[in-house]
Amino acid sequence: MKRTTSIFVVLVLMFVSFALGISDARAEEVKMVGTISKIELAADGKAATAILKDTKSGESVTIIVTDELTLDKFKDKRIVEGDEIRCKFEKEGDKNNSKLFRKTAGC
Amino acid sequence: MHTIITLFIAALLAIATTSSPALAGPDHAEFVKGPFKDGPDVTKVCIGCHDKQANDFMKTTHWKWKGTPNHVKGMEKSTKEYGKANMLNAFCTSIEGGADGLVHEACGKCHAGYGWTRTNFDFSDKSKMDCLICHAQKGNYQRASTGCSVDMKSMEKGVMNLEQAAQSVGVPTRKNCGYCHFFGGGADAVKSPGIDSLMEKTDKKHDVHMGSKASGGQDMSCQSCHKTSDHKISGASSMMAHYEGHVRCEDCHSGAKAPHQKSKNGHILNRHAASVACQSCHIPTFSRGQATKMAWYWSDTGKNLTSEEQFDKETFEKRKGTFKWDMNVTPVYAWYNGSIERYMKGQVIKDPSKPVFMTKPAGSIKDKGAKIYPYKLFQGDQPMDSTFKYLNVFQQYKSLWLDFNWDKALIEGAKGAELPYGGKYQFVKTVSYLSASHEVAPKEDVVQCGECHLGGTRMDWKTLGYNGDPMALGGRFKSSQKK
């Protein structure tokens, strides 16, 4: 009986959490094209925040960048404020973690 | 005594290694003093010590953008020179479009020189070389998007430091080569399979040679494989008429470093090497880091189509037409004997209803010197002159992109290309085979036997000239191949 009750409780909890969206731990992925208005490198050089102004909505979005290649481009100024960027990021809580951060420019 | 001598030699070698300027790279800050107002100012200082190197460089395809067509089947003995300077491809198509070669001022962003903005550039003037584009390590050296010069805007904005760039010169890094080669075809990852900006800093899983040491890779420079001699850089592009030396895996992987020595099926794998290039098994897919352009249809230029996203890239641009993108692509396979069959400017197209092969490897199953190599099969369309039956050159950024009028663009393009426009055009389909030679995978990811044999479909045996799976029917060098 105890075992049946436990299983029932677990099932109820699973149902409730599903219904409320609690179990959906996946981060939301967002794509945007925007112009960099500000870049700030962390003191240890292992992360940076870039503020992008969305070309469609005009809204400013703060992106956290941690990949080495993009950080290098910030450091040696190959990516600077004013550049247009195609960005893909994951929303995790109040943080937007960059998954792709490239200049849109071509010939 | 023997130990002492050995230790002594080892110590000498250690000292030589750590102190040798050739290996460590001499600090040029002592010799190169600014201020410099532009690129040629820097070149003048470089030539002061490196006159021989400047003379050497003037003989290379990186300077001339052409050379004798030693890579093109049937043209090997020609003394006329061909290359990016005067050939067509299926990407941006040509650098000649426009009166007096107007488009040079844009395409010349990737010419290692200053001032090739029009046809009449003086290729004998070494003071016009751009040493920094290949050799600067710091200072964020940038070339202007038009004008074939240093990017003065970057200097004015303070994001580029010409003095620092000049003082930082050294052996080229992947970043230097990538400044142009990662962006072939007009943007990142467009043209050459597996050559894109991610290669600047990648891991072993992506490329065993260029992957970082931390990831178990070798962190090799481009010239580790593309050996250089007197500024001539080896490598036979599957699109180019001229090469300055082939790059072969066997250049390193032979003798004591011969492959498959530890493999229990080594003898079987080695037997493949007579017909199958290393790349065919060791590059199972290409463009594993980001998508590459697989098709480009110029005929859609000027239309009002809706662009969609494929692998984070746009499928339509009004100025350029529609594209197809793909990543992690399984190559197509073809025989290559060291030569290519190449569409040459002005060549008459016999049957416009069939695709025009812009470039394709030469060789067949009957060709003992040929091996099966992996390729990106690139498709597209571009204008053909309906009167003269050859591919046209058209002016893009100061004609077609302004009003999308093809006739005007073709008239303008003909002026620079010395290829008359007959007044009518039609679009013809094109096909290009681009060699997939980068992104060599770790051994655990290589192509497995069953992917090609015993029902595997990776290789199209019939198209390659076999009667069927050679594992079942016998290889090409065996009389036992069943008819």
Across the interface, whether the CB atoms of A69 and B200 are under 8 A apart is answered yes
Mean pLDDT calculated for residue range B361-388: 98
Mean pLDDT calculated for residue range B32-52: 96
Give the number of beta-carbon pairs within 8 Å between A and B: 35
Between B87 and A76, the higher pLDDT residue: B87
Pick from A76, A102, A107 the residue to mutate for testing the B interface (most B CBs within 10 Å).
A107
Q: Using alpha carbons, select from B111, B56, B122 the residue that is nearest to residue B85.
A: B111
Name the residue among A86, A88, A107 with its Cβ closest to that of B106: A107
B173 Cβ under 8 Å from any chain A Cβ: no
Chain B residues with CB under 8 Å of A72 CB are 200-201
pLDDT band per the 50, 70, 90 thresholds, residue B31: confident
The pLDDT, as a whole number, for residue B12 is: 45
Domain ranges of chain B: 38-447
The pLDDT, as a whole number, for residue A1 is: 54
Name the residue among A69, A88, A105 with its Cβ closest to that of B201: A69
Give chain B's mean pLDDT: 93
Judged against a pLDDT cut of 80, whether residue A5 lies above it is answered with no
Judged against a pLDDT cut of 90, whether residue B133 lies above it is answered with yes
Mean pLDDT calculated for residue range B350-367: 98
Mean pLDDT calculated for residue range B442-449: 97
Judged against a pLDDT cut of 80, whether residue B223 lies above it is answered with yes
Chain A residues with CB under 8 Å of B136 CB are none
Chain A residues with CB under 8 Å of B109 CB are 107
Between B413 and B7, the higher pLDDT residue: B413
Judged against a pLDDT cut of 50, whether residue B21 lies above it is answered with no
Query: Residue A3 domain-assigned?
Result: no
B47-63: b (≥16 Cβ within 10 Å) or e: beebeebbebbbebbbb
Name the residue among B107, B140, B186 with its Cβ closest to that of A106: B186
Between B412 and B21, the higher pLDDT residue: B412
B198 Cβ under 8 Å from any chain A Cβ: yes
Residues spanned by the domain of A50:
28-103
| Complex ipTM value | 0.78
Name the residue among B92, B159, B201 with its Cβ closest to that of A77: B159
Question: Is the Cβ–Cβ distance between B420 and B388 less than 8 Å?
Answer: yes
Across the interface, whether the CB atoms of A78 and B140 are under 8 A apart is answered yes
The pLDDT, as a whole number, for residue B5 is: 55
Query: Residue A68 domain-assigned?
Result: yes
The pLDDT, as a whole number, for residue A6 is: 60
The predicted-structure confidence for A83-105, as pLDDT tens digits, reads as follows 999 999 999 999 999 999 999 87
B317 Cβ under 8 Å from any chain A Cβ: no
The pLDDT, as a whole number, for residue A7 is: 60
CA B354 to chain centre: 27
Judged against a pLDDT cut of 70, whether residue B186 lies above it is answered with yes
Mean pLDDT calculated for residue range B241-255: 96
Q: Total domain count for chain A?
A: 1
Q: Using alpha carbons, select from B147, B151, B146 the residue that is nearest to residue B132.
A: B151
Judged against a pLDDT cut of 50, whether residue B22 lies above it is answered with no
Query: Residue A19 domain-assigned?
Result: no
Nearest residue in chain A measured CA to CA from B145:
A107
Share of chain B above pLDDT 70, in %: 94
CATH number of A59's domain:
2.40.50.140
pLDDT band per the 50, 70, 90 thresholds, residue B13: very low
Question: Is the Cβ–Cβ distance between B181 and B226 less than 8 Å?
Answer: no
Which long-range contacts does B197-200 make (Cβ < 8 Å, 24+ apart)? B197/A69, B197/A102, B198/A69, B198/B289, B198/B290, B199/B174, B199/B289, B199/B438, B200/A69, B200/A72, B200/B174, B200/B175
Judged against a pLDDT cut of 50, whether residue A2 lies above it is answered with yes
Pick from B159, B191, B200 the residue to mutate for testing the A interface (most A CBs within 10 Å).
B159
Share of chain A above pLDDT 90, in %: 69
Strand partners, B391: B384
The pLDDT, as a whole number, for residue B463 is: 97
The pLDDT, as a whole number, for residue B464 is: 98
Query: Residue A6 domain-assigned?
Result: no
Judged against a pLDDT cut of 80, whether residue B3 lies above it is answered with no
The pLDDT, as a whole number, for residue A27 is: 74
Across the interface, whether the CB atoms of B106 and A72 are under 8 A apart is answered no
Chain A residues with CB under 8 Å of B145 CB are 107
In B327-424, at which residue ranges do the beta strands (DSSP E only) sit?
332-336, 340-342, 356-361, 371-385
Nearest residue in chain A measured CA to CA from B197:
A69
